[in-house]
Structure 1
Amino acid sequence: MKVQQIKQAVDVTALEDWGAAGLPGTEPARVTGRQYVIPGSEAVDTGVFECSPGTYRRSVKQAEVMHFIKGSGSFTPDGEDTIRFTAGDTLFFEANTGGLWNVDDTMRKIYVIF
């Protein structure tokens, strides 16, 4: 199968519990998701990711593209200005990008990690 379809990704259920993310002394955000793999292309990580409100640090080790399909918040790359996002926005991350996520309203995104 060369093409996988995620129908109505905003409504996908049966997300897996991927744990919690948060800064010390803050209420941790809950992280869930569902990974989709195209056989033969396992090096490309794709899927649906959802995160409840919260603040946490994350470093993107590989290049990533993400398209937000619900929610809002911000990402502040280390040493750069804060980027606000909302449903409908797309972000492109260079490999080895670190920074601070602040999720205001539960966000859901489609992601592709190269």
Structure 2
Amino acid sequence: QRETTRTLWQSPDGLVEVGVWECDPGHFTATREGYDEVCQVLTGSATVRTEGGEDVELRPGATLAMPAGWRGTWQVHETLRKVYVVRTHGTGA
């Protein structure tokens, strides 16, 4: 399984990043520790199962929000490309 990430912009303080992420088909577990992420699928498809057991089907145009502490598994069916915005929690956040 191959992943690539390209950062398109980062705030001067380094706490906000916008980029494009692409992943080949496969299965993996993910966590969002210390940062929030909102993403929108550009191409491909996947099923994301949250730690609570909810399945989210991702297709082009779908938007997914993953707050800090989010945990889940991804099953990428077709090579997935998404644009994302990540907000890292700074000290004291």
**Alignment TM-score, normalising by the size of structure 1:** 0.71
Cα RMSD between the aligned structures? 1.2
Tell me whether 1:44 sits opposite 2:16 in the alignment: yes
Structure 1: stretches of 5+ with no match in the other structure: 1-28
Residue identity in the other structure for 1:65 = V
Moved runs in structure 1, 4+ residues, more than 6 A?
none
Please report how far the alpha carbon of residue 38 of structure 1 lies from its aligned counterpart in structure 2 after TM superposition.
3.7
Which among 67, 71, 80 is matched to residue 94 of structure 1?
Answer: 67
**Aligned position for 1:18:** none
Tell me whether 1:85 sits opposite 2:58 in the alignment: yes
Secondary structure of the 2:2 match is: strand
**For the structure 1 residues 39 and 75, does the alpha-carbon distance in structure 2 shift closer, same or farther, using more than 3 Å as the test?**
closer
Between the two proteins, what is the percent identity of the paired residues?
31
**Alignment TM-score, normalising by the size of structure 2:** 0.86
**Aligned position for 2:41:** 68
Query: Counting strand residues as a fraction of each chain, which structure ranks higher?
Result: 2
Aligned partners of 2:4 and 2:21 also within 8 Å:
yes
Larger Rg: 1
Please report how far the alpha carbon of residue 110 of structure 1 lies from its aligned counterpart in structure 2 after TM superposition.
0.3
Q: Which has the higher contact order (CA 8 A, sep 6+)?
A: 2
